[in-house]
Chains A and B, each alone.
Chain A
Amino acid sequence: MTLLERIKRERIFFDGGTGTCLQARGLQPGEKPETWNLTHPEEIVALHKAYLEAGCHIIKTNTFGVNKDRFTNARELIEAALRNAREACKDYPGTYVAFDMGPTGRMLAPYGDLDFEDCVALYADNVKALTACGGADCILIETMNDALETKAAVLAAKEHCDLPIFVTNAYDESGHLMTGADPLAMIAMLEGLRVDAIGMNCSFGPDQMLTLLPHFTAHASTPIIVNPNAGLPKSQDGKTYYDLSPEDFAGKMVALATQGATILGGCCGTTPEYLRLAIEKTKDLPYALPTSKDETVVSSYSHGVLIGGAPVLIGERINPTGKPKLKEALRQHDLNYLLNEGIRQTEAGVQILDVNVGLPEIDEPAMMEDTVKALQAVTDLPLQIDSSSPEALERAMRIYAGKPMINSVNGKMSSMESVLPLVAKYGGVLVALTLDESGIPDTVEGRVAIAEKILEKAKEYGIQAKDIVVDPLTLTVSSDTNSGNVTLGAVQALTKLGIHTVLGVSNISFGLPRRDLVNPVFFAQALQAGLSAAIMNPFLQGMMDVYYGHNALHGFDNACSAYIDYALRLDEVTVQSKTTDDGTLKEAIVRGLTDLAETRAREALKDQAPLSMIETQIIPALNEIGAGFEAKTVFLPQLLQTAEAAAKAFDVAKEKMTTGDNSQGTVILATVKGDIHDIGKNIVRVLLESYGFQVIDLGRDVAPETIVRGALENGCKIVGLSALMTTTVPAMEETIALLHKTDPSIRIMVGGAVLTPEYATQIGADFYGQDAMEAVHIVQTFYGGK
């Protein structure tokens, strides 16, 4: 009987902990257990045999920490470990060898420095060695404490062999992995990756696992593995011991087996004696596989979100359609702007973020991968990867630290054939659009029929109905007044069939004025019709009103507490903005009060021109704090807060400034390498733009080579450089020299508080501008106009 058949029929046992046993057999402090595969094969075989003798069914190869970064002879160690394990099993029919892979001990980027694909490659090397040496009965990926690293190991296994894959993670006493994931998140991701058995090992011993087991039995459909330590580690007289006796341990194993663990075994501190007793005590207990669960779950590195219960909000703001600012940010690869949109929506209360970075002129797959990587570093929300490019989808799905939502597939054969295999491989909850080769049906029945067609096709790829959410499409009522009815009718019909639904609700009002009036009404009606999730704008109060109101009215909000919180928060905001009348804009900036500075700036602009506000309020505030910093009466944290408040006020001013027609010529701007002061440069930019120049802003802390490349790529002959510190003037000089050397016809203007006209000439600049207005004059003269 194969291992896979066996685990679905009866409870079987892994062996116990290797380390502690080898210590007893003479492993020295500082010596790595894996080296014993070669140096003491007889001890390893004897240990395996002791577990088999105790009644264990699966033994783990002694390869936990092996990888080619840690062991130059990784390959031989793996070969020897497999040889030892097989040797031991030879005399025990019906037993199995699990090829063991543990964590790399490195942290994945961006927090650590291990690149995702390098991590996959590290595991892939082991898997390739395994197959070259004849394979095993399964791969056990164990003691993993990071969701993304777990995924890397699983992908490596899937891509280089066909063996069953078992995964166990190490949860801490809070019930999370060290890097944050809870059991629901891991189950969602791993079942999405079609792992064969899932569970937990190591950690805090069987008691803690008993408290976590219900999460597994509630959400997992695969066999559940539980391999605990022999209690908690204690040390006495320089020796580690675990605080449970074999009898206690066996008692806990009975409880674990009774409550649904289907594969048991041990980890640190569990000698053959522990396993022998545990097997003996559990052997007559009835066995039941976990039932298959019908839950639709997407997950992030930390948690899962269920679709199909309370309605789920999906933030729509990271999508360039109709958003000129976001388009600009994408063209300039300004991830910060995107990240801020993500963070603000998270704070506004959505549960999932839609990510769409499609623009014809950019490399969408690369941008999608970069954006997803950056976003999952700053938000814990699951992401909806939204693209019509299968390549963009795949690149993001690969590096995504969980089970993503995928937007979308439609009823066209070409779409299904390119997207369904991706979901089959990486896992995900797929949004299915009800359109196909013949367009969008204008009847409810037509849309339902396409949904059913997609569900049917998905089955061929092994994708279950629970992993598909149907979008019956929102078309604007401005072109067909019946379209709202059809969409709502389709939501209702699909809901009746037990199919979850999602809509991009904002579309309903496309082309109408005051869309904020129509959208909430449509949203409320869609929820009433049974809508499971909405892709929407959480910054529109009306939409959030509907959401909290609906949940309170339909039993999704226990004791109406979310609604009450929301209502109180709204009140607070109105009260605050009415009563905090203390101080001018300048004072707000000096005190570093970002929110107040924003409010004051908006007020000021009612009767002041943006430029005059900058000159009379923002710059004097910065000067005052700057002087204080120099005199050591103001310190860095305060300086930072002031800069932030100033930047906010400046953003408000920028919104009000009209940008010209971009036809007067192009200018490149940058703050030089080593310098992050960019407020002055930003002012220069805005002024130039308002005079009709196109500005290519390379940002701050920009290397000389990048600036040269920017000039060459854009055929731009005038470059503006900014520096605020004595220490960054040399970088400016270097940049000027490189620009002049590369193309002597390029002209360079410089500015920033640290420079003087003399200084500017000395470092080879062509022009010096004392302020932003002078920058405009210089550029106008350069382009020969006036």
Chain B
Amino acid sequence: MIAISAGSFQIDQIELNVKEAALRLGVPGEQASQWIAEYAPLVEKEIQPKYCFTKTLVRILPTGKIDLGYTRLESKDLYKNLSGCIQVYTLAVTLGLQIDRTIARLAVSSPGKAFAVDALASAYAESAADALSKIFREELSDDATLCPRFSPGYGDVPLTIQTTVLEALEATKHTGITLGTNLLMTPRKSITAFQGVRKL
């Protein structure tokens, strides 16, 4: 067992990443605000962002494996991402199941709205993870920086690590995130990631 922190975000703690939103909507950056204005209120009403995370020591074993404290894995890409790190956050965030329901309902009654809400919700999930990183940054000592987030499934880190990560975080209990046999998460707007702490 490891120490886990858990909590939830109020909507005003999350700042929508406009670039991400434009990307997900498939519109040029300068048109994004118009779509955000139209659909963000709908999305914000239907999300209940929850998170949990743990901070563990990270060690590179003589075998080259990465020891995260609760599991060991082999990955060149994660190794690169965590190089120089002595600690790592493992995090999970979700927007909750209600937004999945809303998207499913809109897909029936208004596919156009469903697309826009789906795209914006993805951007919000990313932004919720940003909000969590902000919490990590505030905890940092002056001589440390935070690495970019690195999610299971990126590079050579297999999705199978999801089972271990979510179990270690007791993510179902804290956030309601579950894993399917295809290793995809439900609620769909959920993110897991590693984020290293690098000493300067």
Q: Which residues of A contact B (CB under 8 A)?
A: 19-20, 22-23, 27-33, 103, 105-107, 110-114, 143, 145, 170, 172-174, 178-180, 202, 233-236, 238-240, 336, 339-340, 343-344, 377-380, 592, 594, 635-637, 640-644
Contact bitstring B23-42, A, C-beta under 8 A = 1, else 0: 00111100100010000000
CA distance A106 to B178 in the complex (A): 5
C-alpha spacing A324/B134, complex, angstroms: 57
Chain B residues lying within 8 Å of A174, measured Cβ to Cβ, are 48
Q: Could you tell me the distance between the alpha carbons of A145 and B172 in the complex, rounded to whole angstroms?
A: 9
Residue from B3, B4, B105 within 8 A of A378 (CB atoms): B105
A-B contact pairs, 19 of them (CB 8 A): A30-B70, A31-B1, A111-B100, A112-B180, A145-B176, A172-B48, A173-B8, A233-B6, A234-B5, A235-B4, A235-B5, A336-B108, A339-B109, A343-B105, A378-B101, A379-B105, A637-B25, A640-B112, A644-B110
Interface residues of B in 96-144 (CB under 8 A from A): 96-98, 100-101, 104-105, 108-113, 115-116, 119
Nearest CB of A to B73, in Å? 12
Residue in A33, A145, A339, A644 whose CB lies within 8 Å of B112: A644
Asked if A635 and B56 make an inter-chain contact with CB atoms under 8 angstroms apart, the answer reads no
CB nearest neighbor in B for A176: B48
Q: Verify if B168 is at the interface (C-beta below 8 Å from A).
A: yes
Whether the pair A637, B172 counts as a contact (CB closer than 8 A) is no
B8 in contact with A112 (CB, 8 Å) = no
- Is B5 a contact of A343 with CB atoms below 8 Å? no
Given A103-B172, A105-B178, A343-B108; A233-B26 close (CB under 8 Å): no
- Contacts A113-B180, A180-B97, A235-B4 known; A29 to B27 CB distance under 8 Å? no
Task: Answer whether residue B173 sits at the interface, using C-beta atoms and an 8 A cutoff.
Answer: yes
| Neighbour of A637 across the interface among B115, B167, B188, CB < 8 A | B115
Q: Is the CB of A635 within 8 A of B181?
A: no
> With a CB–CB cut-off of 8 A, which chain A residues contact B168?
29-30
Q: A223 to chain B: closest CB distance in Å?
A: 25
**CB of A70 to closest CB in B, whole Å:** 9
Q: Is the CB of B26 within 8 A of A636?
A: yes
Q: How many whole Å from A592's CB to the nearest CB in chain B?
A: 7
Tell me if B173 and A112 are in contact (CB < 8 A): no
Query: Is B18's beta carbon under 8 Å from chain A?
Result: no
Cross-chain contact A377 with B104 (CB below 8 angstroms): yes
Q: Is the CB of B69 within 8 A of A29?
A: yes
Instruction: Name which residue of chain A comes closest to B72, CB basis.
Output: A30
How distant is A381 from chain B, measured CB to nearest CB, in Å? 12
Chain A residues with CB under 8 A of B105: 343, 378-379
User: How far apart are the CA atoms of A344 and B69 in the complex, in Å?
Assistant: 52
Which residues from chain A contact B3 at a C-beta distance below 8 Å?
Answer: 235-236, 238-240
B159 within 8 A of A: no
In the complex, B2 has a CB within 8 A of chain A: yes
The 3 nearest A-B residue pairs measured at CB? A178-B176, A235-B3, A640-B112
- Check if A238 sits within 8 Å of B2, measured CB to CB: yes
Contact B112 A635 (CB under 8 A): no
CB distance from A481 to the nearest CB of B (A): 42
B48 touches A29 (CB 8 A): no
Contact A233 B4 (CB under 8 A): yes
